[in-house]
Amino acid sequence: MKRGFDIFLSLTGLIILSPVLSVIALMIKLDSKGPVFFRHTRIGRNAVPFAMFKFRTMIEAKHWSGPPLSPRNDPRVTTLGVFLRRFKINELPQLINVLKGDMSFVGPRPEVPGFVDLYSDEEKRILSVRPGIVGPSQIHMRNEEDLYVEGVDPNAYYIEHILPEKLKMDLTYVENASLLGDLKYLLQGLGITITGAVTRRHLFENSEQIGIFFCDIFVCAFSYFLAYFLRMDGNIPPVEKSILLDTLPAVIVARMLSFTYFGLYGTLVHYISLDEVLKIIRATTFSTILIVMITFFMGERGHPRSVFAIDWFILIGLMSGYRLSAKAFKSRLGERSDGPKRNILIYGAEAMGDLALRYLKMQGNGNVVAFIDDDPKKMRKRFQGVKILGGRHDIEVLVRLYRIDRVLIAAQNLGPQDLEHIKSLCNKANVEYEVFALAN
């Protein structure tokens, strides 16, 4: 009876989910090189090995595969893989294993051969039943990768701490297996898959990104409404309002999927830069093309095409603007909490000076007042948005005028004599100095 239930449910699931599985497969191929599926040898009923299917969530590296276990923050996991693992979507291909008879919907989770070799005679009783997609250990250890202690050997920690607990739960299941119990585990498994996807620690560690994600949803909706409002000169007719409301959910879904795919939620607010703005432009352009296609297939042929162009322009401006504003606001708060910053003068308005400026901004431990450079063509110009106020002979005057605390010497191809001269000018001005150089 249980096998008949497995066949019916797995076949039905594969048919219903086939469009979703196809989209996920396409996203995996677009996300990174390698096959769609990950096949791994596991030990099944009566100790018979079989190939268990999962969606691939790691980078493909044939020359090195790394440890068989994947603790939290495993660098091999792809951007898409993190999402698939968090919501257990990578387990869906195991419906094929259930249909083939390698697995059941409910049962102990199948283990790799190396760990099965460590089973005692008593623990080998677990192999008397088919392994399952959902099992007691999976329910009680939903986010197993979070159980590992930082800095430990994953294999040793799994064998010593995690595996014994799993085996105890699986033995209890084998001793008390029943159809009613399986139904209970199946319902619990569905519930824990949804509720366990986002933990308190996950929310805390990703609070900035989650906040930006929900802000983007609001901004996308606002931009779309504003684009319609401007296109219709402030008066949206009932027919157009109906099209707007019908297409709005599709617009938001297309936008958010594109933004996630292009990595807009992987940057800390404090380090948002021009690269993030370029990502926004690419993601918005891609999602706009996607939205045009979606509205066409939805049959909304009366949708004003100019709305898409207006929405594209507004959305890029809003998203870029509030991100950069959030960065500036957070930097200002950091300055207040850390006290006043030291005023810095950078000598060298060229590549090395640019690196010095970027480094200081990233560290947040100094206020760059101005650049100085001996090239007369650069005088009174701006370099990376900062004024060039003079040359080396103006150091003493600038130190007094702007209350400079430190001079950072960051010039390429500066000879020993010139360097000593600049140092002597800093000494004369009674100001600290430091030579900025790249480590060899």
Q: What is the CATH number of the domain that holds 416?
A: 3.40.50.720
Task: Indicate whether 301 and 363 sit together in one domain.
Answer: no
Q: Is 262 exposed, middle or buried (0-12, 13-18, 19+ CB in 10 A)?
A: buried
Quick one: pLDDT at residue 49? 94
284's tokens: 């918005």
CA 349 to chain centre: 35
The winner for highest mean pLDDT among 9-13, 142-146, 188-192, 337-341 is 9-13
Task: Indicate whether 30 and 175 sit together in one domain.
Answer: yes
- Give the SS3 label for residue 89: helix
Task: Indicate whether 230 and 174 sit together in one domain.
Answer: no
Task: Indicate whether 186 and 224 sit together in one domain.
Answer: no
Tell me the backbone φ, ψ of residue 10, rounded to 5 degrees: -70, -40
Task: Indicate whether 178 and 241 sit together in one domain.
Answer: no
* Strands in 348-415 per DSSP E: 367-372, 382-383, 386-387, 406-409
Cβ 105 vs Cβ 182: under 8 Å = yes
Q: Is residue 440 part of a domain?
A: no
Quick one: pLDDT at residue 339? 55
Task: Indicate whether 313 and 353 sit together in one domain.
Answer: no
Closest CA to 52 of 1, 7, 112, 12: 112
Task: Indicate whether 65 and 91 sit together in one domain.
Answer: yes
Range(s) of the domain holding residue 274: 206-335
Reported confidence tier of residue 440, pLDDT bands at 50, 70, 90: very low
Q: What is the pLDDT of residues 193-239, one digit of tens each?
A: 766 655 565 566 667 788 888 999 999 999 999 999 999 888 888 88
Reported confidence tier of residue 68, pLDDT bands at 50, 70, 90: low
Q: Is residue 227 part of a domain?
A: yes
Q: Which of 288, 307, 335 is the last residue of a domain?
A: 335
* Strands in 125-176 per DSSP E: 132-134
Instruction: Look at the chain and report how many structural domains it folds into.
Output: 3
Worst-scoring range by mean pLDDT, 17-26, 64-73, 194-203, 208-217?
64-73
Task: Indicate whether 38 and 113 sit together in one domain.
Answer: yes
56-75 average pLDDT score: 63
Task: Indicate whether 119 and 226 sit together in one domain.
Answer: no
Reported confidence tier of residue 347, pLDDT bands at 50, 70, 90: very high
Reported confidence tier of residue 140, pLDDT bands at 50, 70, 90: confident
DSSP 159-200: IIIIHHHHHHHHHHHHHT--HHHHHHHHHHHHHHHHHTSS-H
Task: Indicate whether 8 and 138 sit together in one domain.
Answer: yes
Q: What percent of the chain has pLDDT over 70?
A: 86
